[in-house]
Each structure stands twice: as C-alpha cells, then as structure tokens.
Structure 1
Amino acid sequence: MASDTATASPDRRRPRAGGLRWLPGSRLGRLIIVLNLFGLAILIAGALVLNELRRGLVNARIDSLTTQGELIATIIDQAATVGEPEPMMDAAYASEILQLLSNPRSQRARLFDAEGRLVADSYWIADRVEWRTLPPARSRDDGSGLDLSLTGPEGEPSEGEVAAKAQAALQAEVATALRGVHWAGLRLGADGERVVSVSIPIQHVKAVLGVLTLEARDVDEIIAAERAALLPFILIAISVSLISSFLLNRLIAHPVRRLARAADRVRLARARAISLPDISRRDDELGDLSRSLEDMTHALSERIDAIERFAADVAHEIRNPLTSLRSAVETLGLVQDPAARERLMAVLQNDVQRLDRLVTDISNASRLDAELSRQAPTPVDLRRLASDVVALYQATVRPGEPRVVLQAPEMGEPMLVSGQEGALGQVLRNLIDNARSFSAPDGEVRLSLERARGQVKVIVDDDGPGVPTENLETIFQRFYTSRPKGAAFGGNSGLGLSIVRQIVQAHDGHVRAENRPGETEGDVAGARFVVTLPEARR
C-alpha cells in the first residue's frame, strides 16, 4: 500500500496543462511557447489594429488635397470670374480649368456654384462612372425565387439609404464651404466607404463664387499595402519566436524535467545521490542548480552514512554494559558468599551508571546537529566565555580535584568569533573535563587564548601522561577511549572529544591534539588541545 502511494505521488505534484496538451514538451515548455507567442501576438495586433498609420496617412492626404485644391481654386478665381461689381463664376471655363488641373485617376474633383449646384465632376470629364459590387442574390422569404432588389440584408441599410447618407454628408460639406470655411476630414462615400475629402471655397475678394471639392478613397488601399508589406516581417518574427521557444524548452524546461525525474528516482528508488553530468557541466543557472542538488544529495548521503555508523556504534557500546549486567544478574542468584554478592552488586551499580552516562552523552550528541542548524550564529566573545567557564570550575572545585586556571589578557579588544555561545561553551567544558580526568590530584589545567592572523586559538594544557603518538587523531573518533593504567573502567563514554570536533567543524574551525615536550628529550610533560576558530569581522 505504501509503494502505491509513493508511485502515485509524482502525478499529484504535476498537474496536467489541460488546454495546452497539444503543444510538444513539458508543461513549462508549453508555457514558454505560449507566453512568447502571446507577446508576439499582442505586438502584431497592435501593428495591425492601431490607427496611428491610418491617422498619419489621412492627415498627409488632407494636406496634399488642400494644397492642390487651393491652387485650383485660386486659378479658377483668377481666370473664370466674370462680372463687376457683382462677380460670378464662368461654369464652362471653370470646368475646362478643372479638366486641365485635376487627376481623376487617383482622386475625384467636383465643382459647385454659389447655389450649391454641381457644375463639373472629374468623373464626367474622364468619362468614368461610379461602380460598386452588387450584394449577392438572396432567396425571397416566400420561396418564390430570387430577391433581385438592391436592399441589404435584414438589419443593414439599403443601397439607397447609403447613397442618401453620402449625398447628405456631401451637401453639408459644401454648405460649410459656401460660408467661406475650409472643410477637411473623413466622410461617407456613395459606396458606403469612408473617403478623405476637402472642400475649399472659391472666393473673389469676399464673395464666394463656388466650392471646389477634392476627395480621395485610396487610403484604405495604402494601409492594406502597408500591412501586406509587414507580412514577411511578421512571418519572420513568428519563426524566430517559435525557434527561441523551442530552444528555451530544450535548454530550460527539458533539463528541469530531468532534474525532477532524477529527484523522484532518489526518493522512490532510495538512491543516495543525483548525478546528471551533462547538466552539471553547463556554465549557467541550471548547471549551478544541478551541482547544488548533487552536493546536497551527497551531503545527505554522507549524513545518512554517519547516522548509520552512529547507530551501529551506539548498539555496540550499549551491548557491553548490558552483557556485563546480564552476567552479573545471572551470577547473583548462584552466589551465596556475602562478599561476592557485594562485589556483584557494585558491578551492577557501575554498569547502570555507565549506561546512564552513555545514554546521556548519546542524547547530547544526537541533538547536536539539530541545535547547530536551528540557531543563527552571533558574535561571541571567547575571552568572556572562557572567563565564565573557568570561574564556574573554580567555584565548584573540591579538595583533591585538579584546578582550572585561565591564562588570557584581561584587557584589550574582545576576541570575537561567529557562532553559538552554548555550543562553544560545551567545547570548553569537554576539553577541560577531558584534561582533568588525566590530571593528577591537586594538579592544574590551564586554558589560554591567543589571537593571530585573523584567528582565535583556544589552548588547553594538562600535566597528565599525554596521548600516544599513534592515537593523536583517533581520540576524536566516536566512542574511542584510551585510559592510562589504573584508571577506572567505564568512566568515559568516548563521545566528549568527538562532540568537540563536530562543533568546531560546524564553526569553520579545526581542533588538534599534541604532546607537550618535557625537560628531558623524549619526555612528555602533558597533553595539549588546540582549537582554532576564524575571528568574526567587526
């Protein structure tokens, strides 16, 4: 049942991208493609829909028609004006001038007299007629055949209504110009399309002799041509966006998916580490992520191995006092001699104390990792901490026990290190307790502090027998004990120095053991433990 749950969990963590499943790649890859295309679609739509181009073309067309119309109106005023003192426009001569100056191929020119009547039209001069596409034939409502009328579909204006609106707009434009006001803008054409039109009054002094109207309907064609010119660039932009999307999918989404699958394999197959060499060699953020995941899983693997070794060591260390207890209990029922029974009871008490001390030290060691990772490091003054620890030992010393002496300057700048005060205090206590256990009665343990090259050194000296040269490193191993002859068996758990090294390494420092030379060559004056920690930056 547990395996089924574990197998199904990846699907719960990876919801399906419902509407995008038709795109290739992973969900992240599909998202990359859609977002790239969405941004490009907005850009294309803006280029095609926004009316900035149309507005610019309309304004340019109005300026062109106005310049041309003012020139034609001026010529007509100078050449086709007759009668004084009440001038009037010679319609026939004005029509000839319009024929010479207008360009009926690209625009339409109309000439109106002072009463607003149409006098000349460039379509007449060029022998052109207005034309438009007829709407498709429709069936009659009663099914009796085709409806051949020119009215639009239901809800749309008919051809006549469109023509009437266009004629009304033209008349309003001409009426405005007859009042001596120039008119320019967009209005409705006879075929329902908008045209650019200007109406210029033909004035002789202050009298309005007529109106010249010029209109152009090629703006939409120019805009369509501009959009058609944009089409190759749009296709190129879409192609580039698709290529970049698939490259991003290949370079980002696919490796991330591989990392996720590798993490699932580590979780489901109980593997110890993620290994993706081809991604780790990449010199980018994904390479950094892959290397970080590999380092993290390797660190977790090492921690798992350390926990397994710790559990095996704990089982081995607990087995010894338990075996001794079982033997003593089994023998106790067979021994009748009171002296022998007393010795067995002493063994039982010693083994119980040993078990209690062993369980306490194991509990402290197992909580150490959690405590070190839970608390944030803070600046700690080692001089003050060492002074407090030594003062505690001096206040609680009993007759016959070794004394603890602090050899450090009382004045000067604080010796600051970055770490946890409780853990560093445990380092000092463990080193002092270890030195006291090897010191003679009424002996002395010396704790000194030094500062050198951005580091702070803590040195603990004793006057004991020293450490065998071959054991200077092994004494820091878990559950290792090396006692001199005559020392009580089981008085130490072998975890004190191991805890010291663990805490010091967590503070980016190191600890070592050495023997102090005596007065004669080859003689050992005692053991020395040196802890080196990086000084905190002020």
Structure 2
Amino acid sequence: MNGKKGLEETSERLSGQSVKASSITRRILAINVFALAVLVTGLLYIGKYRQELIESEIASLMTQAEMFAAALGEAAVGGENTEQPYLQKIIASQIIRRLTATTRTHAQLIIKGGQILTDSKLLLEPGGLVQIEELPPPNQDNRITRYLLDALDQILQRFQNQIQPSAVENNSLQGKLTSPEVQKAMAGEHGHTILQAENGQLSISVAVPVQRYKHILGALNLKKQTTSIDDAVFEVRLEILKVFGIALFVTVLLSIYLARTIARPLHKLAAAANLVRHGLSRQYSIPDLGLRSDEIGRLSAALKDMTEALWERMDAIEQFAADVAHEIKNPLTSLRSAVETAAKIRDPEKQQKLMSIIFDDIQRLDRLISDIADASRLDSELSRARMEKFDMGNLLSTFSTLNRKTGDSQGIKLSLKIADGSPMFVLGLKDRIIQVLRNLLGNAESFSPPNGTITVKAERNGKSVAITVEDEGPGIPESSLENIFNRFYQERPSEEKFGTHSGLGLSISKQVIETHGGTIWAENRKSNNGKILGARFIFWLPAEN
C-alpha cells in the first residue's frame, strides 16, 4: 500500500507541475490574447474618426471666419466714400477681441502686403501692447496612457493615410504673414491648412477674404488648436481600453478553464498510463472519463479498453506458457522414464519396446514444438501480412481436387457442394484459410468411420460466406462443444495412437477465422429423433463485393 500511495503522490505532483507549465495552456492563452490584442489595436487606431472630427472642425472654423469677416466688412471699414476704403485698426481690434473671446480662437487681420493689422492676442494698453498667452492645461491624468497611444499613432501612421500637418506654425504676432491660406484669401478664395507647433501640437488655420461690396480689404486668419479633438479621441480610446481590460480578464479566465479541461485530463491519462507501465500489479487503471462526450472521453475509453486488452493478452500468454510447459513435460517425463528403464534392463525385446516408446515421444515432442512455434508466430504474421481478395468457391474447388485421396486407406470419400448464385469473394490470407480447412478436414477424417463421407459445403448468406465441414463420426460430447477450441484440448478416438495430435489445430483455426473478422463454431448433426449422425464445423467470413 505504501508503494501504491507513493506512486500516486508522485503522479499527482508531476501531473500538477505539468499542468502549470502546460504548453497547451500557453498556446491557448497566446492565441486568444493575440487575437483580442489585434482587434483592440485596430479599434484604438481610430484615424478615420479623428480625420472626420478635424474636417468637421475646419468647416466650423470656416463658418466662424466668414461671420467674423462679414462683421468686419460692415463695421470696421473706413473711407467708404473714397476710392481706397480701408480697415480701421482700433474698431477691427475691438470686434475681433469680442468675437474670439467666446470661440477660443486666435484671429489675425492681414491687409495687403501681408501686414498684420491686428491680432486677438495683442491688447493695446496705456503702457503699450500686451501679449495674451494661454496657460498650459493643468497636469493631465493618464499621461502614461496618452504617451502609449501617441506612440501607437506614430507607428500606425506609416501604414495609413491620414491628415498630416502641411506647415510649421508661425507664432509671429506682428510683422507680415504670407502663409498659403492667407494668400488664397487675399485673392478672394477660402483657404485652410494644418499647422504643427514646435511641441508637436496640431492646429487648424483657415483664412477668408474681408471685403466691402466685393472690394477685398484684407484677409481674416482664424487658428484653433486640436486639443478638443485630441481629448475626444482619447476618451473614446480610454473607453475601448476599459472594455479591453474586461474582455482580457474574461478571455484569460476562459482560456485557463478551457486549457485545464483539456490539459488536466490528458495529464491524468498520461500519469495513469505511466503507473500502469511501471506498476507491478493490476491495482492501477486508466481513469474512466467516459462521461465526457468529447475526444478526451473517447480517448479515455480507448485507453481503458486497450489496457484491458493488454491484460487479457498477458493472461493468455501466461496461460499459453503454462499449457506449453505442461504439454512438454508429459513426453519428457515419459522419455526420462524410458531412458532410465532402458539402462537397467538387458532383454533385447524389452529394450526394443522402450526404444519405440522413446521414438514416439520424440515425434510427439517434435510435432508439439512445431505446432507451438506455428501458434506463436500466428499473431505477428496476421498483423504484418497483407490480405487479398479471392473467390472462396475457386479455393475450395482447388483444395478438394488436391485432397480427393484423403482417407483412401479407409475408403473415406470427400464431397464438395458449392451453392450456385452470387460469387463468394472474401478478403483474407489464402494460406491461413487453407490451414483451417486442413485442420477441419483432418479432424473429420480422424472421427469418420471406414467408407464414410466428409462433406464440405459453401454458400453465401447475405454479407457473409459460410463454410461447413460435416462427418459421419460419433459426434462431439455436449460438454465439450465449448472447450474443443481451447489450446491443447483433446477429444480423440479411443483407437487413435496417443500423441498423434497436439491439440492446437482447432485453437489455431479459431484464431485465424476471428482475425479475418469471422466466427467458427461446432455442433452435432442429429436426425429427427435426436440421434447423433456426426459432427459439423461451421465458419463464416465477411463477403466482399
């Protein structure tokens, strides 16, 4: 019991370690997490969504610029009655400051020559111009997340087409401004572009013409950072990451559960098979997982059946070895007794009888060893040999022709009856089927009376071919019908010389027929009043089309 407990504990420990480091678990986790990661990576890269937001912001900013330009054209124009109307700086500055205060945009009014007339970030105070600067936003949360998402953007931008900055932002508040969109506005068209500051922050710049009665007086340039767009995109991504976190947690749990339902029973089966292999007794068995209706359940049932078949085969081998030892011991005992006796007597006649006994025992041993060798080779030969398709009717006709003289010394006749109709094709080994026929024919000859008849019949019954061998002998004792196919079992005629047969013929015949997928049995031929008329051996084989 201690040995058994130790082996089981060792098996459980090894099985537990194997489950923890199971390659199946790692593979299932890797595949499921990788697929989820690829999906989330694609969702996180919402470049198209960001582009749509930028385009929407450009349209909104363009509308604001048109409204601002219309207001300037109505209220900030001087010299209307002259040929050269102009924009009044003070009035234009007041209008621009008031309009941009609520829109959080940066506005610049440019006149001909690219000269900046007024800027919403410059205030005219008694002490001079004062520049307005927006304070940076307070420390943002999720800075690491933002950094990782920005890095992801930079990587994926190489594989996708999206809006790219077309110019570097010019932070000049005075002097000249000759950007492309401003030049288009001075020419009477609308223009826009994406700018990038030194810190990498993007901004949108639009420019529209400021005119009075279709007379272009200047250009209004509105700029706005994409911070609100970046924040909106970040919030969407953050929600995706939250969902991804939950999905990842569920995926990992389900993957581990799935892996354990696969790996753990497999390790149990492997550990049990190892115990069966190294165990010295049959106290170890394959776990019964037959309640599982999947491949593992079928594998468990197959391993269990295989183990039981191996034990049965081992039992058969042990029994065969014991029977061989017993059968060989009998002639050896007789030989020893005859040799010891021959050494003690001087009578030539008695010595001649002893020599005859020794010769018969040697022949018996030779026959027995030959049959045992044939029986021991049978399994391996049947497993290696390639079966072929042949006509049983033709085989019986040839066999009958070669054995017509069987029993001529006693006047025994051989009658062959092959039913007409469908061909009797079978798949098998011709030589072994002939061996079965010889064994049955020899057995019938041994029990047939002088001038008797041995009848061999062949017919096809549906999907099988039936062969029958009948004799006119004394029949088989009812108590022996189940035993005559056992190894070394002998039920011989009283007048037959002892040791003529080894008792393996019918056993070999049964093994050959069952290997071919057929069945063999014996019964007595009886008359209507129940009198035994002889023995009948029947075997059938699966028929081939």
- Which TM-score band applies after superposition, normalised by the shorter structure? 0.7 to 0.9
> Who is 2:423 aligned against?
414
> Comparing 258-267 with 215-224, which one deviates more in the overlay?
215-224
| Residues 89-100 of structure 1 aligned to structure 2 (within 5 Å) | 98-99=96-97
Instruction: Name the CA distance, whole Å, in 1 between partners of 2:54 and 2:385.
Output: 76
Letter of the 1:62 partner, please give it: E
Instruction: Name the CA distance, whole Å, in 2 between partners of 1:353 and 1:208.
Output: 134
Relative to structure 1, is the Cα distance of residues 75 and 130 closer, same or farther in structure 2, using a 3 angstrom cutoff? closer
Letter of the 2:366 partner, please give it: D
What secondary structure sits across from 2:537 in the alignment? strand
> Comparing 489-498 with 26-35, which one deviates more in the overlay?
26-35
Task: Find 2:73's aligned residue among 64, 77, 80.
Answer: 80
How far the C-alpha of 1:71 sits from its partner, in A, is 5.6
What secondary structure sits across from 1:475 in the alignment? coil
Letter of the 1:530 partner, please give it: I
> Who is 1:118 aligned against?
116
What secondary structure sits across from 1:221 in the alignment? helix
Instruction: Name the CA distance, whole Å, in 1 between partners of 2:525 and 2:323.
Output: 31
Percent of aligned pairs with the same amino acid? 35
> Who is 2:148 aligned against?
none
What CA RMSD, in Å, does the superposition of the two structures yield over aligned residues?
3.8
Gaps of 5+ in 2: 1-6, 124-129, 139-166
TM, length-normalised to structure 1: 0.78
| Residues 77-226 of structure 1 aligned to structure 2 (within 5 Å) | 80=73, 98-99=96-97, 102=100, 107-123=105-121, 128-132=132-136, 166-167=169-170, 172-174=179-181, 177=184, 184=192, 186-190=194-198, 192-202=199-209, 209-218=218-227, 219-226=229-236
The answer as to 2:325 corresponding to 1:325 is no
> Who is 2:266 aligned against?
256
How far the C-alpha of 1:447 sits from its partner, in A, is 1.3
- Maintained 8 Å contact 2:391/2:424: yes
> Who is 2:153 aligned against?
none
Instruction: Name the CA distance, whole Å, in 2 between partners of 1:484 and 1:416.
Output: 36
Gaps of 5+ in 1: 1-6, 135-163
Instruction: Name the CA distance, whole Å, in 1 between partners of 2:83 and 2:440.
Output: 128
Letter of the 1:61 partner, please give it: I
How far the C-alpha of 1:392 sits from its partner, in A, is 2.7
> Who is 1:142 aligned against?
none
The answer as to 2:41 corresponding to 1:37 is no
Instruction: Name the CA distance, whole Å, in 2 between partners of 1:486 and 1:337.
Output: 29
How far the C-alpha of 1:364 sits from its partner, in A, is 1.6
- Maintained 8 Å contact 1:89/1:210: no
How far the C-alpha of 1:527 sits from its partner, in A, is 0.7
> Who is 1:437 aligned against?
446
| Residues 260-275 of structure 1 aligned to structure 2 (within 5 Å) | 260-272=270-282, 274-275=285-286
Instruction: Name the CA distance, whole Å, in 2 between partners of 1:85 and 1:380.
Output: 119
> Comparing 125-134 with 57-66, which one deviates more in the overlay?
125-134
- Maintained 8 Å contact 1:77/1:202: no
Task: Find 2:434's aligned residue among 390, 415, 425.
Answer: 425
Instruction: Name the CA distance, whole Å, in 2 between partners of 1:67 and 1:460.
Output: 105
Instruction: Name the CA distance, whole Å, in 2 between partners of 1:171 and 1:444.
Output: 126
Structure 1 residues 46-99: Cα deviation after superposition (integer angstroms, max 9, x where no partner): 444x3xx13421332223323441463376268618678777666666656655
| Residues 7-18 of structure 1 aligned to structure 2 (within 5 Å) | none
Instruction: Name the CA distance, whole Å, in 1 between partners of 2:305 and 2:449.
Output: 47
- Maintained 8 Å contact 2:195/2:205: no
What secondary structure sits across from 1:199 in the alignment? strand
The answer as to 2:525 corresponding to 1:503 is no
What secondary structure sits across from 2:322 in the alignment? helix
Task: Find 2:467's aligned residue among 458, 464, 478.
Answer: 458
How far the C-alpha of 1:171 sits from its partner, in A, is 5.6
How far the C-alpha of 1:255 sits from its partner, in A, is 1.6
| Residues 282-431 of structure 1 aligned to structure 2 (within 5 Å) | 282-375=292-385, 377-394=387-404, 399-400=409-410, 402-409=412-419, 412-431=421-440
What secondary structure sits across from 1:115 in the alignment? helix
How far the C-alpha of 1:202 sits from its partner, in A, is 2.0
Instruction: Name the CA distance, whole Å, in 2 between partners of 1:85 and 1:443.
Output: 148
Structure 1 residues 119-178: Cα deviation after superposition (integer angstroms, max 9, x where no partner): 4545558995144499xxxxxxxxxxxxxxxxxxxxxxxxxxxxx953289964446645
Instruction: Name the CA distance, whole Å, in 2 between partners of 1:422 and 1:128.
Output: 110
Instruction: Name the CA distance, whole Å, in 2 between partners of 1:121 and 1:58.
Output: 29
Instruction: Name the CA distance, whole Å, in 1 between partners of 2:221 and 2:536.
Output: 114
Letter of the 1:323 partner, please give it: T
What secondary structure sits across from 1:474 in the alignment? coil
Instruction: Name the CA distance, whole Å, in 1 between partners of 2:21 and 2:535.
Output: 66
Letter of the 2:471 partner, please give it: D
- Maintained 8 Å contact 2:65/2:208: no
Structure 1 residues 229-273: Cα deviation after superposition (integer angstroms, max 9, x where no partner): 223312211220221133124322222111111111111113446
What secondary structure sits across from 2:246 in the alignment? helix
> Who is 1:481 aligned against?
490
What secondary structure sits across from 1:314 in the alignment? helix
Relative to structure 1, is the Cα distance of residues 450 and 172 closer, same or farther in structure 2, using a 3 angstrom cutoff? same
The answer as to 2:40 corresponding to 1:59 is no
- Maintained 8 Å contact 1:390/1:404: yes
> Who is 2:532 aligned against?
524
- Maintained 8 Å contact 1:182/1:198: no
Relative to structure 1, is the Cα distance of residues 372 and 533 closer, same or farther in structure 2, using a 3 angstrom cutoff? same
How far the C-alpha of 1:329 sits from its partner, in A, is 1.9
Relative to structure 1, is the Cα distance of residues 122 and 314 closer, same or farther in structure 2, using a 3 angstrom cutoff? farther
> Comparing 344-353 with 26-35, which one deviates more in the overlay?
26-35
> Comparing 452-461 with 80-89, which one deviates more in the overlay?
80-89
